[in-house]
Structure 1
Amino acid sequence: MTYSRIAGLGFYVPETMVTNHDLEKYMDTSDEWIRERSGIETRHFFTEGKDTVSKMGARASEVAMEKAGVTPEEIDFIVFATLSPDYNFPGSGVLLQRELPFRNIGALDVRTQCTGFIYGLSVADQFIKSGMYKNVLVVGSEIQSNILEKSTRNRDFAVLFGDGAGAAVVQATDNEDSRILSTHLHSEGKYAEDLLLEHPGSNLKNRMSTKIIEEGKHLPYMKGSAVFKHAVTRFPEAINEALDANNMTKDDIDMLVPHQANLRISEAVRRKMGLDEDKVYNNIQRYGNTTAATIPIALSELDEAGRLKKGDVICLAAFGSGFTWASCLLKW
């Protein structure tokens, strides 16, 4: 049997760190208000002229490939997850392909926002298990600081998000004791408008107008209470689905790495699952919500800290815009 495993991880965050106190200069908010509602203390914002979504993805990929012991020439396929591509088209996957000395390999862009990295892992897992590829690069990268209006009217969103990138080399293996066990993907589009960035969109003849800007409809919108309610339901569902598929229970989990949307959501899920604090990893305090990059950044930090041991059962779970939700269970 051919399986897939994560052979190397890497991440990159821009050098500019923005504190909650920095945001007080632009909107009616406070360090206490932000921490209480999200747990976030700092986040990183990109540098124009230096950082792009594809270039940040390349920096993370270089680290992941080095740790996996592979060169760009050995990568067979790229899966690039982002909600903030460099251009409307083409996608950022091909821009990453030209950034490093890859062969003329395929590049697939994934647009499932917060679940993008797990969706990407699932695609990589299937390609490898089918025998089509041996090394797939899965990347999550976001620049969101320039999507947000740093103002009081947009503060519920503006304080939450940061910029960053994470990457994983997913590699073929015949070792059933160190592999991706299963992935589980879901969506429920009837709630799409509860969390979205509507304009500029293709449903209007004039994609952008003064009226749209004045009404703030070019800014991300979130129905916060609805998102929270669905998240704390879907996260445990996705986690339990992965455990059931592998005849495991919550007691088998050595580390849960949830998408870093909000510390309050992660804590609610932890309590609902009955997991000890040391079995759930959170870094939203330092990076904010980096959307498709949150899980690979968190995994990279755990790996660098030596907290992922051979044979550990790791559960990845995410929920976000769409709504989409997903999970991945793996043995390290």
Structure 2
Amino acid sequence: MSKMRASIKAIGGYVPETILNNSHLEKIIDTTDEWIISRTGIKERRILDDKSLATSDMASFAIKNLLEDGAIDPDEIECLILATSTPDYALTPTAALVCEKAGLKNAWGFDLNSACSGFLYGLSVGASFIESNRYKKILVVGADKMSSIVNYEDRNSCILFGDGAGAVLLENDESGSGIMQSIFKVDGKGSKFLSVPGGGSLLPTSEETVLAKKHYVQQDGKTVFKQAIKSMSATCKDIMAKADLSIDSIDWIIPHQANLRIIQAVSEEVGIDIKKFKINIEKYGNTTAATIPLCLWDFKNDFKKGDNIIITAFGAGFSWGSTYVKW
């Protein structure tokens, strides 16, 4: 009998209707459409501009899309793993709110914050729950309302981020397919290069932190850029070696969508044709924990049974890793 593994059985997604394109950014900061595209590959991003809605709403919309598209009874969902860096509240798990809003009456859930690597980490945790035979159906969701922590006066960061949510359903699979192996890494020294300094226990919210704009994303772009290429390339190579996969045997790479030039550099470093990389950054920007599930959602019809897929991510922390999935 084959080992029981967790397999992705359904995919859902949600992006807000409001589009923030480069032409609009030209009007509020010193930049140009040409510059943004040449440096990042981003043409537009989606913004959740309804102030009554938050990350939990986008996550619940993505889940409802998954359930409806897959004709799945919400009562069958047993657990929700929500990857997010933008929870609705500092205290009260956003996953609890999502379970309520998505009608997951029989599910428990929790938040997982590993920034842009969050969904990939959550996928591994969910897979472990399935492999242990404790649960049959688990939702792993990546959702972030990045517009809530972006300073739109900072031209180096505001051009990068957008809002969105993606969801996958994990179930057991004894056919030999599923989530096969993962390699994950962290390096706390990277926290000074990419973070939101204010609002935590180190720098609680105060008049000083607000005036100093400590509650917005702050990053050293050059350092993050170089480290992302190095880290994702290394774990892609490591997971291929660990799984005994050749370059020719890889069907698709699903990379975190932070910057098109990063993705192109990883392609060159790993030696896998850029045509095998699934890319949608031009229309969503960097949606942090949502980039990978949104990529899976956008391109789900391209994946065929037996395809060898590597998913790779890099984010604040620094946190990074790669996962091998046999579709």
Q: TM-score over 0.5 for the alignment?
A: yes
Tell me what 1:236 maps to.
233
**Partners in 2 of 1:109 and 1:255 — Cα distance?**
28
Output aligned runs, 1:49-68, within 5 Å.
Answer: 49=51, 51-68=53-70
Matched, 1:108 2:106: no
Displacement, 1:104? 4.0
Q: Displacement of 1:270 after TM fit?
A: 0.6
Contact 1:8 1:66 in 2 (8 A): no
Counterparts of 1:5-16 in structure 2, within 5 Å, are: 5-16=7-18
Name the Cα RMSD after superposition.
1.4
Paired with 2:104 and 2:255, the residues of 1 have a C-alpha distance of 31
Distance 1:298 1:325 in 2: 18
TM-score (norm 1): 0.94
- Residue 155 of structure 2 is matched in structure 1 by 155
* Number of corresponding residues: 325
- C-alpha separation in 2, matches of 1:76 and 1:218: 34
Task: Give the match for residue 185 of structure 1.
Answer: 184
Amino acid at match of 1:313: N
Partner Cα distance (1:69, 1:188) in 2: 41
Name structure 2 gaps, 5 residues minimum.
none
Distance 1:163 1:282 in 2: 17
Counterpart of 1:207 in structure 2 is 205
Aligned-partner residue type, residue 197 of structure 1: V
TM-score by length of structure 2 reads 0.96
User: Which residue of 2 is the match for residue 278 of structure 1?
Assistant: 275
Among 246, 249, 260, which residue is 2:246 paired with? 249
Matches within 5 A, 1:84-163: 84-151=86-153, 154-163=154-163
**Matches of 1:55 and 1:200, distance apart in 2:** 22
Q: Mean alpha-carbon deviation: is it higher for 215-224 or for 226-235? A: 215-224
Gaps of 5+ in 1: none
- Is residue 311 of structure 2 the alignment partner of residue 316 of structure 1? yes
Contact 2:151–2:217 (CA under 8 A) maintained in structure 1: no
Shift of 1:193: 1.1
Q: Identity of paired residues, percent?
A: 38
SS at match of 2:185: strand
Matches within 5 A, 1:255-266: 255-266=252-263
Query: Is 1:295 aligned to 2:292, yes or no?
Result: yes
The 1-side partners of 2:70 and 2:134 are apart by 19
Q: Deviations over 1:115-159 (max 9, x none)?
A: 0110010000001001111111000111111211211xx110111
Instruction: State whether residues 27 and 155 of structure 1, in contact with CA within 8 Å, keep that contact through their aligned partners in structure 2.
Output: yes
